[in-house]
Chain A
Amino acid sequence: MVARITFFPVGNGDMTLLELESATRILIDLNIREAADDEDDDTPDVARMLRDRLEYLGRDSEGRLFVDAFLVSHPDADHCRGVQKHLHLGAPDSWSNDDDKVFVREIWSSPIVFRRASRNHTLCEDAKAFTAEARRRVARFRDPGASAGEGDRILILGEDENGKTDDLEEILVHLGETFSRINTADESASVSVLLLGPLQSGDEEEEQALAKNGSSTILRFSITGGGVLDACRFLTAGDAEVAIWERIWRDHKTSPELLTYHILQSPHHCSWHSLSYDSWSENGEDAEVCNDARSALSQALAGAAIVASSKAIKDDDNDPPCIRAMREYEAICKEVGGTFHCVGEPESDPECLVFEIGSNGPRNPTKRMKSSSVIGAGALGRHRLPHG
C-alpha cells in the first residue's frame, strides 16, 4: 500500500496518522474536541475522519478499529484530548463492541508517565487516563507471570532521570537510538525512527529551561516509499521549545544530517517560542530569532513541507500560532523550493492535509472537489433560516 502521513484539522493541537507500506498505522497525539463530536457545530469532525480512515484500512480479526502504535508526545490536553472517549484503555479483553473504541496495540510514551503530577505538571483527565494506561502496561511488563500481548504493549521513549526505567531495558529506546520495532514486529523495510528527545538536563539551570514543554518526544521518521528506503524524512516534536532546539543543534551540528527532513511538523503549533527566547506579543518585530534553534529546524530537503498543526494563522499578537514564526518557516521553505502549510486553512472548511510517499519521495496530492461542495447541505443546519 502507499505510505501516507495525514494531519487532521484539530485546531491548535496535534493529531497525525502515519500509514506505512507494511500497512502499519502509527497515531501521534490526539486532539478531538467536544465540539468536534457535536454534529451541529462547525468544528471539523476529526473523530469521524480518523475512524473512516481506519475503517478503510480494515478492522482486525476481532472486528476492532486499531492502530499499531499510539504516541502521546507529551501529556498536554491539546495532544491527548479525547483519549478516554475514543481510544480503548484497559485490558484488551474489556474492549466492547458497543463502545467500538479504537484499539491501541502498543503505546509509545516518554518517561514522563513516571513523574507525579505537580504544580508545574497538572494533568487533564485525558492525560491522567493515558498515564494510568501506560503504567498499567508497564506493570504488565514487569509482572513475571504475565505476557504482554497486543493491547498490553508499551515502548518507553527515553530513560527516566530518576532511574525508574532501569529495569525496562527490553521496552526502552535510548536517546539517539534508531528503532524499527513496532508492536514487536521488525518494520525495518518500512520505517526507521530516530529518538531525538525528550532531552535529559545537564544541570539545574538547564533543567528549568528544558522543563517547559521540554518533555516532548522528538522523533525523526525515515519512511519507505514505493519500496525505496528512506524516501521521506518526517520530523515531529510535540511542543518542544527554543531551549530544546538550541541544545539539539549544539549536540548535532557536526552531523546535521540527523535533523534533515522532507516534512516538519512545526513545533508547538507554529509557536514563536520554538524559535526565540523573546516574547512576540511584547517585542513584536524586535523579537530576535535564536540562530541555533533556527538551524536545528531548518535542515529542510529539496521541496520540503513545513506543517503548522494549528488554527488559521493571522497577522496579530497571537502565539501560537504566530505570524512571525510562520514567516520564518516560509523563509526556510523558500530556500529549498518548499511549501508551508497550515492545517487550519482554509478557515471555512479545513480538511485533512495528506502526503503520499512514493519511490520519488513525498508529495501533496492536489485536492479534489468534494461532492458535498456541490450537493451538500450547504447553509442548512448551520444557521437558522428565516422564511417570511
Chain B
Amino acid sequence: MISTGPAPGASAALARAIRLLQSHPGIRNLSQDQSDPYRFELLVRVGLPFRWMAEGATPSGVRAAEPITLVFREPIAFCPPSILLRTDFDRSLAHVQPWLEEGRPVPCIFEGSLEELQQQFGLAGIVNQLIEWLENAALGTLIDPAQGWEPVRRDFIEDVVVADAVAIEGLVDRRGGQATFSFEYVEDTQASVVRGVLGTDQIPINRKSTSQYFQSRRVREEIRMGRSLGIVAWPGKLPSGGLFLTDEYRPETVVNIGTLKERATQYGCRDYLDSALGLLARCVKSWKFDGTFPLAVVLCARRPFNIIGRSSCIELCAYILRIGAPDLLASGDTTRVRPAGHRDVIEPQLLRRLSGHVGPPAAHWAQIGAGSLGSKITLHLAKAGDAPAVIVDRQNMSPHNFARHGLNPPRDMALGLLGPKADELGEAILRLGQKAKVYTLNIVDVLADPDKSRKIFRDAPWVVVNSTASLVVREAFSRSGNRDLPRVIETSLFAGGRAGLLTVEGSERNPNTGDLIAEAYRVAGCTAKLRGVLTGTRSGIERVQTGQGCGSATMVMDDARLSQFAASMAGGILSLRTDGLPETGRLSWGIVADDGLGLSWETFHLAPSVIATAENESAWKVRLSKRVHQLIQRELERYPNVETGGVLLGTHSEAAQAFYVVGLLPAPDDSIRSRFEFLLGKKGLRRQINDYMTRHGDLLYCLGTWHSHLEPSGPSRTDRASAAAVGLARLAPSVLLIHTPDGYRFVLSESK
C-alpha cells in the first residue's frame, strides 16, 4: 500500500517526484519517512528467473523485492536522489561504490553522472536504470565479458601510482614473480597523500646498494619530494598447470598489511609479495633511515577476460604503505596500507603541441568548461590575443583527457601532479601572455548564489561561453534570473561528433539558450541530414543500458573531428568579437560531410520569445517562439468571431521551470468552434503527435493545448476541467494556454 503524500512544506518538485514513484510499474510499498519528507523507503520488483522468484532471492542474495531508500534534496530538479541498498546487500558485486552511506552500500547504476542522467531522462530514467542494475546484479551480469572486466572501484582515492601498464603486463608470466622498481614521489605530509611514478628498470634488492635509492627533501612547508621503491607482484600457474585466474569481483578492502596479504592470496601472488617484503625487511635491518618512506605495491590480478578499455586481462591494484628502518613495518601486519589509484603514463602520441602567440587585447568574456571543446575554443581565442577573463571548471585533469584536450601534459605529469583543468588552462593562457581569473567551482552552485555569481561575471560582461556539454549547467543558466549575467553562447557536439551546434542568446537573454535549443531541435527535425542527429541522441528512457566503465561519460570521436568543430566555433565567436553581438538570437547547426573533410554550417535567427506567466503557479513560464506566436495570430485572423485553438509542441524543463513552445498542430477536423467554446477534436491527433515526436527523436513533444478567448478573460471552469484532464493523463506537467485580446495566460496542470 502506498502511503505517501506531499508533506507540509515540501516542494512541488517533491510532490511531482512522489507521483512518478507511485506510477512507476517497478515500485511497490512506497512510504515516506515521517520525520524527513525527502526520504522514502520502497520495494523494487526485480525480475528474477522463475525458480529464484519462487524462493524469493537469487543464490547471491538479490531479492525478488529489493528494499531501497531514496533520499532527495533540494533543488530536486538538479539533484538526483541518493540511492541506498539494504545493509546486508552483497558488496562483492561489481558496480557497488567503494564507500558506505549510513552504513549501507551504494550502487553505481550509471557510467556517467546521475545529474546528467536526470536531466536527460528524468527521475523515471534513474529508477529504470536502478532496475536495470538490480536485474543485472541478480543475473550476475553486472560485468559483461563483451565489454570487459570492471576494475575494482577506487573512486575518491587520492594516492596515485603512475606506472607503465604495458610494461608491467609484459612482466606477468606463467611462473609468477615479483620485481622492484624505483618510485619517485611527491608527498603532501599534511593531507597524507602520496603521488608518484614507478620506474621502468628493475632494481636488484641487496643490503649494500639498495639504500641509495631512498632519498627525500622538503620542497615546501608540507610538500616533500623523494625517491623510494615500488614492488610489483604477479600470479603464476595453479598446481594443475592452468593459469591462476581471479574471476570473482571483490570491492576494495585493504587497510593494512594483513588485508593486503589476504588480497595477494586472492590474486595468487602472496608468496611473491611475502618474498619481496621479506627481502626488503632483511636489508633494512642494517640501514639507518632518516624518517620513513612511502613504498608502492602493485598487485597484478589475472582476470578471465580483458579489463575494460584495455587489451590485457591484467588488472593493476596499487597501494601505498610506509616503511622504516631497522624495522621495515612499524606495526607488523597492522601497519596501515592505503589503496592508490593507478594512472597510466602518458604515451608519446598523446602529447600535444603548444605554441606561444602573443598579442592579446583586454579580455572580457568568460569560458565555462575547460574540457576538450572548451579548452580548444579558449586557446584559439587566446592565440588570437583574446583570452577569456574568467575560466570556470571544477574538474581535475586526467591522463585520458589528453586524447583530445587542447593542452599538453605539464612537465611534472610524470609525478602524477595533475591539477584542475581550469588551473591548467589558466596556466596555459598565462604562458600566452594573458591572464584569466580561474575558479575551480561548480558553476551550478555559482549560479544559485547571486553574490558569487555577480562577483564572477562582473569581470566578463560581454558573453559567457558554455562548453560544458552539461544539461545541468544549461538549465542552471536558463533558470538564473540574475540580471548581471551576460548573454550565453553555448557550444555543443552531437551524434558522435557528426554535428555541432552554436547558439547565441539574444539581447536581454531573450531568446535564451532553452528557447534556442528547442528551436534547434525543431529545425533539425525538418532537415533530412540533421534528423539522424536527433534520433541518435535519445531513444526513449526505457532503453538506457547499464554502463560498464563507471568513468567519464564522453562522446567517442577523434581529436581531428573535435578540432574541426572547435576551430569553426572559435572562428564564429571571433567574428562576433569583431562585429558585435546580434540583436536577435542565433543558432547555427554544423554538419560534417560524408567524406569527413567538409564542415557546412546553416544559421537561423530567432526573434525574442513571447513569455506567458501562469495563472496558478507563478514560477513557471510558457515561452512561445516568435514563429509560434505568429502562427497563432494567423489562426486568430482566420477565426475572428469564434474561439479557436490547437495543440502546443515543444519541450519543457523542470529545472528552468519553463515550457519552450516551438510548434503547433492545428485543431483536428472534428473540432467545433463557437463564440463561447472551442471543442478540440481528436481525429488523427494522436498519430500526428506521435509522428511529430518520432521526427524529432522524442526531444520535442506535446505540451498541452491553446485556445482563444474573445474577451480578456481568464480560464473558465471548463478550461480548468480540461487542463486537469490533460494533466491527469501523463506525468509531465501540461499547459492550457489562453490567448485573449490583452495577451497570453496559462494554466499549469499535472497529475495529482
> Which residues of A does B touch, CB under 8 Å?
39-40, 262, 301-305, 336-339, 356, 358, 360-388
Contacts and interface: CB of A to CB of B under 8 A. Distances in A.
B48 A363 contact: yes
B729 A382 contact: yes
B48 A367 contact: no
A369 B24 contact: yes
The 7 closest A-B pairs by CB, nearest first: A337-B54, A303-B50, A388-B718, A378-B729, A388-B716, A381-B685, A303-B54
Contact of B732 (A338, A370, A375): A375
Contacts, number: 187
Contacts of B693: 375
A368 B676 contact: no
Which of the listed residues B26, B51, B131 has the most CB atoms from chain A within 10 Å of its own CB? B51
Given A369-B23, A369-B25, A377 B702 contact: yes
Interface string B660-681: 0000000010100000111111
A332 to B, nearest CB: 13
B730 A373 contact: yes
B731 interface: yes
A360 B702 CA distance: 43
A56 to B, nearest CB: 11
Given A336-B54, A380-B689, A381-B685, A387 B540 contact: no
A368 B53 contact: no
16 contacts: A337-B54, A360-B139, A362-B50, A363-B47, A369-B127, A375-B730, A376-B729, A381-B689, A382-B686, A384-B670, A385-B679, A385-B680, A386-B718, A386-B721, A387-B679, A388-B718
A86 to B, nearest CB: 18
Nearest to B23: A373
B239 interface: no
A356 B53 CA distance: 14
Contacts of A378: 702, 726-730, 734
B135 A361 contact: no
A382 B728 CA distance: 13
Given A302-B55, A377-B686, A383-B682, 9 more contacts: A302-B54, A337-B53, A360-B139, A363-B48, A366-B25, A368-B542, A374-B732, A386-B722, A388-B718
A386 B716 CA distance: 11
B678 A39 contact: no
Contact of A375 (B52, B55, B685, B701): B701
Nearest to B709: A388
A198 B731 CA distance: 48
A387 B689 CA distance: 19
B44 A366 contact: yes
Which of the listed residues A336, A339, A375 has the most CB atoms from chain B within 10 Å of its own CB? A375
Contact of B682 (A304, A360, A371, A381): A381
A40 B717 contact: no
B24 to A, nearest CB: 5
Nearest to B677: A388
Contacts of A366: 25-26, 44-47, 131, 135
B50 A367 contact: no
Given A366-B25, A379-B725, A387-B678, A305 B50 contact: yes
B52 A360 contact: yes
B51 A40 contact: no
Nearest to A41: B686
A387 to B, nearest CB: 4
B151 to A, nearest CB: 25
Given A303-B50, A380-B689, A388 B131 contact: no
A372 B693 CA distance: 10
A373 B54 contact: no
A230 B132 CA distance: 26
Contacts of B139: 358, 360
A281 B381 CA distance: 83
Contacts of A371: 121, 124, 540-542, 698
Contacts of B734: 378
A38 to B, nearest CB: 10
Contacts of B677: 386-388
A384 B26 contact: no
Which of the listed residues A303, A305, A365, A377 has the most CB atoms from chain B within 10 Å of its own CB? A377
A338 B53 CA distance: 8
B679 A367 contact: no
Contact of B55 (A337, A369, A379): A337
Interface of B: 20, 23-26, 44-55, 121-122, 124, 127-128, 131-132, 135, 139, 540-542, 643, 645, 647, 668, 670, 676-687, 689-690, 693, 698, 701-702, 705, 707, 716-719, 721-722, 725-732, 734, 736
Contacts of B678: 386-388
A360 B308 CA distance: 26
A339 B49 CA distance: 12
Nearest to A382: B682
B370 to A, nearest CB: 33
Contact of A40 (B25, B54, B647, B684): B684
B50 A302 contact: yes
A385 B670 CA distance: 11
A360 B140 CA distance: 11
A36 to B, nearest CB: 13
Contacts of A337: 53-55
Contact of B687 (A39, A304, A305): A39
B374 to A, nearest CB: 31
A265 to B, nearest CB: 15
Which of the listed residues A367, A382, A388 has the most CB atoms from chain B within 10 Å of its own CB? A388
Contacts of A367: 25-26
B680 A368 contact: no
A358 B702 contact: no
A303 B55 CA distance: 8
A356 B136 CA distance: 13
A270 B645 CA distance: 47
B124 to A, nearest CB: 4
B541 A370 contact: yes
A369 B24 CA distance: 6
Contact of A374 (B44, B124, B135, B719): B124
Contacts of A372: 730
A349 to B, nearest CB: 10
B51 A361 contact: yes
A76 B721 CA distance: 45
B124 A369 contact: yes
B62 to A, nearest CB: 12
Contacts of A370: 540-542
Contacts of A373: 23, 124, 730-731
Nearest to B54: A337
A387 B49 contact: no
Given A369-B127, A369-B128, A385 B686 contact: no
A388 B723 CA distance: 11
A374 B127 CA distance: 13
B51 to A, nearest CB: 4
Contact of B53 (A39, A303, A380, A388): A303
B258 to A, nearest CB: 37
A365 B684 contact: no
Contacts of B718: 386-388
Contact of B131 (A301, A368, A377, A380): A368
A235 to B, nearest CB: 14
Contacts of A305: 50
A39 B48 contact: no
B662 to A, nearest CB: 15
Contacts of B541: 368-371, 374
B707 A380 contact: no
Nearest to A305: B50
A384 B47 contact: no
B50 A361 contact: yes
A108 B690 CA distance: 36
A371 B690 CA distance: 12
A377 B689 contact: yes
A364 B138 CA distance: 13
A292 B541 CA distance: 47
Contact of B681 (A39, A363, A365, A384): A384
